[in-house]
Structure 1
Amino acid sequence: MIRTLIISLLALSLMAGHAAAYEPSEVLDDPALETRARTISAELRCMVCQNQSIDDSNAPLAKDLRILVRDRLLAGDTDEEVIEFVVDRYGEYVLLRPRVAPHTYILWFGPFIVLLLAGLFALRYVRTRSVEEAAGEGTPLTEDERARVDRLLGTPQDN
């Protein structure tokens, strides 16, 4: 029973497609312009939802931004000009993928630096540990330690 339910839920989740929030009244008559508008909308963050593009969001601000994008395209702006207009108005936070610039280096390169540092620390730990283990192998047992080992193993002692 549970197995059937899990398989059904998995199948439904795989069949679920991309659910866009745009309304039919927003769609442009020119298919090329509409495709450009959808591409731009997918790159812009909804300032209300924050983790959704304006293309996916049902928030009123997202709708206003979708209309703004389409109005700018109808006015003859290029894709870059439309994005720059929205960024000038709302700030770089509106971009779902931040630009590579000095003030965003930590976002782009920080994870790689942390991963590199973790690898260096792990390598140092393994090397230190192996040196310590190698140093411990060459140290002979004292007479007391040898006698204790012999007692624990039940071997006769040499006298």
Structure 2
Amino acid sequence: MPPADASAEPGTAPDGGSTGVEDTLDLKLTEELLALIAEERSAGTRRATVPGDLLGDPGSWPPARTTPGEFALLPVRLDRDLPVISRWMNDPAVAAFWELAGPDSVTADHIRPQLEGDGRSIPCLGVLDGIPMSYWEIYRADLDPLARHYP
């Protein structure tokens, strides 16, 4: 079987044929939902503490028991988590992939739009037995522009 072509148009199968379906959803938020989001922001509610508009609230998901310990996802709060995330992003092995090396503001500028967004993406810390050990971005892959290139 030939490899999937990342440059394929939506509805194009890896072999070049048509899938007959649109594989990406262009979501248009209703005026009512936009008004609710604006109301939460004006009330001073932080995005990371509100259940995700499209993904739910990863902070409320039960932890997973693993051999090394209990693993949980904790939605990012910049005031609490920026120093550790920025330190990770400046590690050469991480910087090669994330391209967020530099002062804390570089990482903050990447994370802040997600915290203020519509819930398509929620930045989280992976926490093992209460110790931050990884950074995650939980997102709706079907709503990401990259989805248009993969069935």
TM superposition score category, shorter chain reference = under 0.3
Which structure carries more helix by proportion?
1
Higher RCO, 1 or 2 (CA under 8 Å, sep at least 6)?
Answer: 2
Task: Give the alignment's TM-score, normalised by structure 1.
Answer: 0.21
When Rg is computed on C-alpha atoms for both structures, the one with the higher figure is 1
Which structure carries more strand by proportion?
2
Task: Give the alignment's TM-score, normalised by structure 2.
Answer: 0.22
